[in-house]
Amino acid sequence: MFDPSLIVEGVISGLLIGGVYSLLAIGLTIIFGVLGVINFAHGELMMIAMYVTLVISNSFQVQPYFAFFLVLPLLFLFGVFIQKFLIQPVLDAPPDIQVLITLGLSIALQNIALLIWGPNYQSLQVSRNQSVIHFLGYVVSVPRLLAFIGALTVSGLLLVFLKKSNLGKAIRACADNREGALLIGIRVERVFLVTFGIGAACAGVAGVFIMPFFYTSPHIGLTFILISFVVAILGGLGKIEGALVGGLIIGVVESLGGILADESIKQIITFSLFIIILFFKPSGLFGKKLR
Amino acid sequence: MNFPSKFHILLIAGIILILVPFFVGSYFLHVMIIIFFYAFLAESWNILGGLAGQLSLGHGIFFGVGAYTSSIMFIKLNVSPWVGFLVGGVFAAVLGLIISFPVFHYKLRGAYYALVTLAYVEIFEKLALKIEYVGGALGILIPLRESSLLALQFQSKKPYYYICFALMIISIGITHWAKMSRFGYILSAIKEDEDAAEAVGVNATKYKLIATALSAFLTAMGGVFYAQYTTFIDPKTTLSVFVSIEIVLRPIIGGVGTILGPILGSFVLTPLSELTRLLIGSGQSGVHLLVYGIILIVVCLRAPRGIFVEIQTLFRKYFEKRRGEVVRHYGTARS
Amino acid sequence: MALLEVNRLHKSFGGIRAVNDLTFSIEQGEILGLIGPNGAGKTTVFEVISGFTSPDSGGVKLNGHDIVGLKPYSLCERGICRTFQLAKPFLNLTVLENVMIGILAKGEPVKTAKEKGNEILKFLNLLDFKDIQAKFLTIGYKRRLELAKALSTQPKLVLADEVMSGLNEKEVMDTMDILKKINGRGITLFVVEHILHAIMALAERVIVINHGAKIAEGTPAEISRNERVITAYLGRGFSDRFQDLSKEKR
């Protein structure tokens, strides 16, 4: 049968990549929580960040982590731009229109990437960091560990920002009750801009951290958008802490699925899980029972 | 009648389209065929997506099921694709009922419905990639038999042209019937507000399932035609989210829920993709999809009801204004 | 036998008891009122009876048949139809089309649905608006359209959820007349209302609930004299006004 240590290593590796999923899904869930919009272009935002990381690392022959300092502000601004010119005008339109406009954006971004970088899978050229450390006798990949630490640090900082800062409190107020926030003088539109910026930046940073041990392609966003939906819905759409835990769970499930079966079976399992959650627990694992 | 009626315009357009193959070359015919083809698919989607308001991103499944069913029957059992139309359609409809029932039963609506159908199409694509019997990732090459109506294979493009034209007309007819009938009224109520519809006695799940089955059946017929026309199918080009997107874009840009909007959508978008293909050369470049994506965004922002409705409104305004001027002219003359 | 019997109904939402051991019955042909302070569970009672929510325990019987667990549309077929507190017309359909849906759902062809729809609109004085999209109606007419939609299902029992809230005095009077007219056709009415003087004038019998439990039941006159209702539910400030109302009624 299976080597039990293989399972443990699977769990560890799943937890580590799960941290990245958490960060990605936090971006999705915060946008939904505050704006009520499901961002179908979220995976493409991550894809763009992955390419930016790739370009920076390859052209300057530096470690990909340096891209963090460019990707974070770049994706934040891109998110603000999307909110200002695409989402804001249709916030009061029927929800289908919001789905469609982000879908249109995702189609456009996919094909811009296809035009610029071509259809092939690409990964970093700098000597790949294959190093591992041994932890209690188990092998742990260093790039994954770094991604995990980085993603959780960013998520933690974001949570502190939302809990402590005035702007963060304003964001939470808008998520709670939009009219109420407006009434007490919060500039809701500006909060929306910042929120979408933060959401996009989360996807961007997740892209930076995953790039050292992953590959990118113009259509890679599709994989990630579904994963981030699974995570966000498992944790309860709009709940940041939920997305944090959900990411770790999905990371482990997927990783174990990968041990037992191959890549495409793994995805079938994840997506089936997604559908089953939507059927039986649409408010997420930690959510109240829907009426 | 103050302005040419819709019926007259359509009649003239129909006659022109019937005569077209006698005057043009085979490339132009090919473009017309794919315009009709996508118009047919757009209209098929429109029954579920437009009339019933369910934003399905899963129509790639039905398309693929049609293409695969008829191709496998054609190759392994030597069954005519005409039978494939029926069997593929029935398979897709039944599959649509099976996968949609829990979705409707658990009341997944709006964006959630779109998400589930997206996940479904991904699952089915991955399954098709794994199953060797249906050719896996390599796909299926449909062998060329002698040119015959029975095998739905022809040397000339003209028969394809008329078959596809007929499919499009049939889909328009079905949508027209659906919209004017009891079925269509009830779907429009479900689209507006499902709870309110159930409160006045509408079994929303039942009607959404009927719309799904009908839409899936027609979409699968499109898949059958595609397989025989291109003679090659694989999961990516026939059973994937990319197929879904191609199907969804035209009715949405043209005018969701209208009868002629999806047709107009195809007449606008499909030549654009051919144009970019001619200008840029490669079919893989994705330029046409980039253009589609941008058009979709612009339509959402500026004309969320679709370009057909916008044009209709302009048209009406123009004629009303002209009539208004005439009246005023008479008014001054009489006074 | 009563038309509708509700027996020991319970329903909680995440620890909050919306309906608590509620028992009552509705007689054929009457107008029964249901009142109670905000959050007393009135709408939940309606949602349970009309099948939009299932109860945690307890029974609901229509003409002696158990109807718990049936879906809204099948309850509608059996003759129970509700209106929504926030009026839910089909906004982009015309007024006539709004009324046609309930008739079509019964299996009638489009032509018949148009004829019957027109009759209902005439009955409720809505005929002038029949070709207008419902979204352009004022709130008063939207609420009246809710009643028209309910009538289109040929109901035995209509659950009217605050059909008068947000209306001006004249509109309230009109709506009361309409409700009486509907009742005059032999249709039983179960009415939730905030506007107390309206329900006191309209209903033959009134049930008062608080925190999901029944605290009083009786004729409007009895209710308005009930100390428990006045103090525990309306608060002392309201008691004077309540006394006035019962005088008015006499």
All chains having 3 or more CB pairs closer than 8 angstroms to chain A = B, C
Mutate to test the interface with A, among B122, B240, B284 (most CBs of A within 10 A): B122
Give exposure, B268-300, as e/b (b: 16+ Cβ within 10 Å).
Answer: bbbeebbebeeeeeeeebbbbbbbbbbbbbebb
Q: Is the pLDDT of residue A1 over 60?
A: no
Question: What's the angle, vertex CA A174, arms to CA A170 and CA A180, rounded to 5?
Answer: 100
Size of interface A-C (CB pairs under 8 A): 4
Do the beta carbons of residue B175 and residue B259 sit within 8 Å?
yes
Structural domain includes residue A287? no
In a domain, B185, yes or no: yes
Q: In what order do the strands lie in the sheet with C205-210?
A: C80-82, C157-161, C188-192, C31-35, C205-210, C213-218
Chain C residue with the nearest C-alpha to that of A287: C14
Comparing CB atoms, the residue among C81, C92, C110 nearest residue B199 is: C81
* Beta carbons within 8 Å of C232's beta carbon, 6+ residues apart: C210, C215
Render pLDDT for A137-146 as a digit per residue (tens, 0 to 9): 777 888 899 9
Give residue B42's Cα distance to chain centre.
2
Tell me which chains share at least 3 CB pairs under 8 Å with chain B.
A, C
Among the listed residues B40, B212, B103, B301, the one whose alpha carbon sits nearest the alpha carbon of residue A100: B301
Residue B204: per-residue pLDDT: 96
Would you write out chain B's pLDDT as a tens digit for each of its 335 residues? 445 677 888 889 999 999 988 898 889 999 999 999 999 999 999 999 999 999 999 999 999 999 999 999 999 998 999 999 999 999 999 999 999 999 999 999 988 999 999 999 999 999 999 888 888 888 999 888 777 888 888 888 999 999 999 999 999 999 999 999 999 999 999 999 999 999 999 999 999 999 999 999 999 999 999 999 999 999 999 999 999 999 999 999 999 999 999 999 999 999 988 888 777 765 566 788 899 999 999 999 999 889 999 888 888 888 777 766 554 444 333 33
Work out the minimum CA distance from C209 to partner chain B, whole angstroms.
25
Asked if the model's pLDDT at residue A129 lies above 70, the reply is no
User: Does residue C152 sit at the B interface (CB-CB below 8 Å)?
Assistant: yes
Which sign, positive or negative, has the C-alpha torsion A211, A213, A217, A220?
negative
What is the C-alpha separation between B251 and B175, in angstroms, rounded?
Answer: 13
Nearest CB neighbour to B297, from listed A105, A115, A267:
A105
C20: left (phi over 0), alpha (psi -120 to 50) or beta: beta
What percent of chain C clears pLDDT 90, i.e. is strictly above it?
A: 55
CA-based nearest residue in chain A for residue C53: A291
Q: What is the pLDDT of residue A291?
A: 29
Distances (CA, A) of B69 to A263, B204, B233, B238, C190: 26, 30, 11, 12, 55
Q: How far apart are CA C24 and CA C156, in angstroms?
A: 18
Number of domains in chain A: 1
Kindly determine whether residue B55 and residue A96, on different chains, have CB atoms separated by under 8 Å. yes
Look at residue A218 and tell me if it is in a domain. Answer: yes
List the beta bridge partners of residue A141.
Answer: A132
Looking at the predicted structure, is the pLDDT value of residue A206 above 90? Answer: yes
Q: What is the pLDDT of residues C115-141, one digit of tens each?
A: 999 999 999 999 999 999 999 999 889
Instruction: For chain C, say whether B326 makes contact (Cβ under 8 Å).
Output: no
Predicted confidence at residue C166, as pLDDT, reads 81
Does C14 touch chain A if contact means CB atoms closer than 8 Å? yes
Establish if B235 belongs to a structural domain.
yes
CATH assignment of the domain containing A172: 1.10.3470
A271 within some domain: yes
Q: Give the number of residues written for chain A.
A: 291
Q: pLDDT for A58-108, tens place per residue?
A: 999 888 999 999 999 999 999 999 999 999 999 988 888 999 999 999 999
Domain with A266, as residue range(s), is 4-280
Q: How confident is the model at residue A289 (pLDDT cuts 50, 70, 90)?
A: very low
List CB contacts (< 8 A) between C109 and chain B: 182
Measured between CA atoms, the residue of chain A closest to residue C55 is A291
Distance to chain C for A39, nearest Cα, Å: 27
Q: How confident is the model at residue C66 (pLDDT cuts 50, 70, 90)?
A: very high
B119, B285, B297 member nearest A104 (Cβ): B297
3-state secondary structure B241-305: HHHHHHHHHHHHHHCCCCCCHHHHHHHHHHHHHHHHHHHHCCCCCCHHHHHHHHHHHHHHHHCCC
* Rg from Cα positions in chain A: 19
pLDDT at C115: 96
Q: Across-strand partners of C81?
A: C158
Residue A289, min C-alpha distance to chain C (Å): 7
CA distance B106 to chain A (A): 6
Closest Cα partner for A40 from A28, A55, A22? A28
B289, A38: Cβ pair inside 8 Å?
no
Picking from B189, B54, B187, the residue whose alpha carbon sits closest to that of residue B112 is B54
Residue-level pLDDT at C4: 92
Given this model, what pLDDT does residue C75 score? 93
Check CB contact under 8 Å for C90 and B195: no
- Chain B CB contacts of A265 below 8 Å: 126, 130
Q: Specify the number of domains making up chain C.
A: 1
Per-residue pLDDT, B334: 33
CA–CA separation, A192 and C102 (whole Å): 41
Angle ∠(A46,A98,A107) on CA atoms, nearest 5: 45
Paired residues of C191 in beta bridges: C33, C160
Closest chain B CA to residue C100: B185
Q: How confident is the model at residue C79 (pLDDT cuts 50, 70, 90)?
A: very high
Alpha-carbon distance of B203 to C94, in angstroms, equals 21
Based on the structure, what is the number of domains in chain B? Answer: 1
* Closest residue on chain A to C48 (Cα): A291
Are A235 and A18 in contact, with CB atoms under 8 Å apart? no
**Partner A, chain C 44-63, Cβ-Cβ below 8 Å:** 53
Mean of all residue pLDDT scores within chain C: 87
The pLDDT of residue C86 = 84
> By a Cβ cutoff of 8 Å, what residues of chain B touch chain A?
53, 55, 102-103, 106, 108, 110-112, 114-116, 118-120, 122-123, 126-127, 129-130, 241, 245, 252, 284-287, 289-290, 292-297, 300-301, 304
Q: Are C53 and A288 within 8 A, CB to CB?
A: no
Residue C220 belongs to some domain of the structure: yes
Q: Residue C227 contacts by C-beta under 8 Å, 6 or more apart in sequence?
A: none
Q: Do B200 and C52 touch (CB under 8 A)?
A: no
Nearest beta carbon to residue B55 from set A99, A104, A107: A99
Residues of B in contact with A282 (CB under 8 A): 106, 108, 112
CATH number (domain holding residue C166): 3.40.50.300
Looking at chain C, which residue has its C-alpha nearest residue A290?
A: C13
Q: Is residue B135 assigned to a domain?
A: yes
* Closest B-chain CA to C152: B200
Query: Residue C173, exposed/middle/buried by CB under 10 A (0-12, 13-18, 19+)?
Result: middle
Q: Which residue of A has its CA nearest to B106?
A: A279
Cβ–Cβ contact B180 with C under 8 A: yes
Residue C191 backbone zone (phi > 0: left; psi -120 to 50: alpha; other: beta): beta
**pLDDT score for C249:** 44
What pLDDT does residue C216 have? 87
If pLDDT is split at 50, 70 and 90, which confidence band does C233 have?
low
Select from C90, C135, C113 the least CA-distant residue to B180.
C113
Q: Exposed, middle or buried, B98 (CB in 10 Å: 0-12/13-18/19+)?
A: exposed
- Dihedral sign computed on CA atoms, order C121, C125, C127, C131: negative
Enclosing domain of residue C187: 4-87+156-249
What Rg value do the Cα atoms of chain B yield, rounded?
21
- DSSP lists the bridge partners of residue C4 as C26, C62
Cβ separation A291–C14 shorter than 8 A: no
**C12 touches A at CB < 8 Å:** no
Closest listed residue to residue B263, CA positions, set B209, B230, B307: B307
Query: What is the residue whose two structure tokens read 């309860």?
Result: A236
- CB pairs under 8 A, 24+ apart, for B122-125? B122/A222, B122/A226, B122/A267, B122/A271, B122/B241, B123/A268, B123/A271, B123/A272, B123/A275, B124/B60, B124/B61, B124/B64, B124/B239, B125/B60, B125/B64, B125/B235, B125/B236, B125/B239, B125/B240, B125/B241
C95 CA: distance to closest CA in chain B (Å): 12
Q: List the Cα angle A92/B201/B178 in 5-degree steps.
A: 70
- Chain C residues with CB under 8 Å of B204 CB are 73
Predicted ipTM of the assembly: 0.90
Put simply, the answer to whether A108 touches B102 (Cβ < 8 Å) is no
Question: What SS3 state is found at A122?
Answer: strand
Sequence-ordered strand ranges (E) for chain C: 4-13, 16-26, 31-35, 57-62, 65-66, 80-82, 157-161, 188-192, 205-210, 213-218
d(CA C210, CA C230): 12
C-alpha distances out from residue B7 to B15, B39, B254, C57, Å = 12, 19, 19, 59
Distance, in Å, from the CA atom of C60 to the CA atom of C19, rounded to the nearest integer, reads 13
**Residue among B186, B188, B192 minimizing CB distance to C105:** B186
**Do residues C139 and C167 make contact, with C-beta atoms less than 8 angstroms apart?**
yes
From chain C, the residues in CB contact with B50 under 8 A are none
Q: Do A100 and B252 touch (CB under 8 A)?
A: yes
Here the tokens at position B28 are 């132009």
Residue C92, chain B, CB below 8 Å: the answer is yes
> For B154, phi and psi rounded to 5 degrees?
-140, 150
Decide if A183 touches B, using CB distance below 8 A.
no
- Tell me which chain B residues have a C-beta less than 8 angstroms from the C-beta of C82: 199
Q: What is the DSSP letter of A184?
A: T
Q: How many CB atoms are closer than 10 A to CB B231?
A: 14
Contacts of C83 in chain B (CB under 8 A): 199
CB-CB contact of A205 with A39 (8 Å): no
Nearest residue to A109 via CA among A52, A191, A32:
A52
- What is residue B57's predicted lDDT score, i.e. its pLDDT? 96
CB contact under 8 A, A106 and B293: yes
For residue A286, list chain C residues with Cβ-Cβ distance below 8 A: none
Task: Check residue B281 and give its pLDDT.
Answer: 63
- Which residues in chain B have Cβ-Cβ distances shorter than 8 Å to C71? 198, 203
Tell me the Cα Rg of chain C: 18
Whether the CB of C246 is below 8 Å from some CB of chain A: the reply is no
Task: Pick B122's closest partner by Cβ from A94, A96, A226.
Answer: A226
Mean pLDDT of A118-136: 79
Q: Is residue B280 part of a domain?
A: no
Please report, in angstroms and rounded to a whole number, the separation of the first and last CA atoms in chain B: 26
Cα–Cα distance, C89 to C192 (Å, whole number): 19
Please identify among residues 231-290 of chain A the ones whose CB lies closer than 8 Å to any CB of chain C: 288-289
Contact B31, B271 (CB under 8 A): yes
pLDDT tens digits, C152-184: 999 999 999 888 888 888 889 999 999 999 999
